[in-house]
Amino acid sequence: MQLDRGSATLVLMRHGETAWNRQARLMGDLDIPLTPEGRGQCDDAARMLEAFAIDRIVTSPLVRAAESAQIVAEHLGIAVTSDTRLVEVRFGEWQGMTYEEVASDPRYHAFAADPVTHPTPGGETVASVQRRGLEGLKLLRAGECVLFVTHGDIIRTLLCHFLVTPLSEYRRIRTDNCGLSAIAVGRGAPEVKFVNVLADQRRARSLTHWRGRP
């Protein structure tokens, strides 16, 4: 991803916590709202983003992302637009199931071994997710700093692109709720400025991505 002229910065933010995060349940493109803790995580992220000079916010239309974006937008006084290309991986038949339940499905082993070419049942491949995510990021214009509020797996695929990492390794990149990653884009190769920065450092030390404050 490059710009014809000038430079810009895109910031990727994962939505705040939901109850299904705590339950280790696959949400996909289902609409699951934030928990009170998730809204607090968005408040924390908004305060950190004050120093970023964000020009505008683009969000996935799924409620957990849209609600997260609105919390940040109200804090910063910035308008929000939505883009369907930023929705989470569509997990098809697995949506609503826990990771433990999905692990017993033989189709999951094929997907886990090769998510780039094996689609989720009734869903999509990780490669298709990365393609539509990159199309959504093309909304970025020279001179801007744009916050894109989206989902864990799609952020992983986008970071693979910017880090020139094989897409098959996308699960090795950690994306916490309200984790922030930033990429500078210009005429040359993009520069990844930071990955998965959290406003609450106590949560950053947690071994689980959904655990809140003690």
Residue 88 falls in the annotated catalytic set: yes
Rounded-to-integer distance, Cα 152 and Cα 134, Å: 15
Catalytic residue selected from 37, 67, 88, 144: 88
User: Beta-carbon neighbour count of residue 179 at 10 Å?
Assistant: 22
What is the three-class DSSP state of 82?
Answer: strand
Show the DSSP H helices in 86-195 as ranges: 99-102, 106-113, 126-137, 152-162
User: Beta-carbon neighbour count of residue 50 at 10 Å?
Assistant: 10
Catalytic residue selected from 15, 17, 37, 67: 15
User: Beta-carbon neighbour count of residue 210 at 10 Å?
Assistant: 21
* Residues labelled catalytic: 15, 88
